[in-house]
């Protein structure tokens, strides 16, 4: 079993920054790809960013390119999402997820992820 716990969400003004963290327990995730998704009120969950097991490959949704950066610290079994230049449309619950395919390169597809965190709320005010 893998437990993922997100933190770092909150209320921020438009143009501000937040850094989300997702700490894993139950299994070392250094061999697996990790991702961030989000779900806004009344909308389906959508892909935000993903990172390969090695950290050498990253993928970002068009809506966050140039503003969000995904990274990982395998020694801490943690994945991060640095969010800059936040917009009101970034308001959502943000979820981290783990894809337990060994040496995964990262995926933009929700169903390829095996474990999910409980989510952390990000609210951006205008």
Q: Is the pLDDT of residue 99 over 90?
A: yes
Residue found under tokens 């079994």: 77
Q: What would the pLDDT profile of 19-46 be if each residue is shown by its tens digit?
A: 999 999 998 989 899 999 999 999 999 9
- The reported pLDDT for the residue numbered 102 is 79
Residue 125 has a pLDDT of 97
Q: Mean pLDDT, to the nearest integer, of 87-100?
A: 97
Name the strands in the sheet holding 18-25, side by side, starting at the edge strand that comes first in the sequence.
3-7, 18-25, 78-83, 68-73
- For residues 2 and 119, give the distance between their C-alpha atoms in angstroms, rounded to a whole number: 15
Q: Is pLDDT of 101 > 90?
A: no
């Amino acid at each position: 079993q893998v437990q993922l716990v997100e933190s770092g969400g909150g209320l921020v003004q438009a143009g501000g920054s937040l850094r989300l963290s997702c700490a894993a327990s139950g299994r070392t995730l250094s061999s697996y790809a990790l991702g961030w998704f989000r779900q806004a009120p009344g909308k389906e969950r959508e892909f935000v960013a993903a990172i390969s097991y090695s950290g050498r490959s990253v993928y970002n949704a068009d809506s966050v390119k140039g503003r969000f950066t995904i990274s990982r610290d395998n020694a801490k079994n943690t994945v991060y999402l640095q969010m800059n230049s936040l917009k009101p449309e970034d308001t959502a619950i943000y979820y981290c997820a783990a894809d337990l395919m060994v040496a995964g390169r990262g995926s933009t597809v929700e169903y390829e992820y095996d474990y999910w965190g409980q989510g952390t709320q990000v609210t951006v005010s205008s």
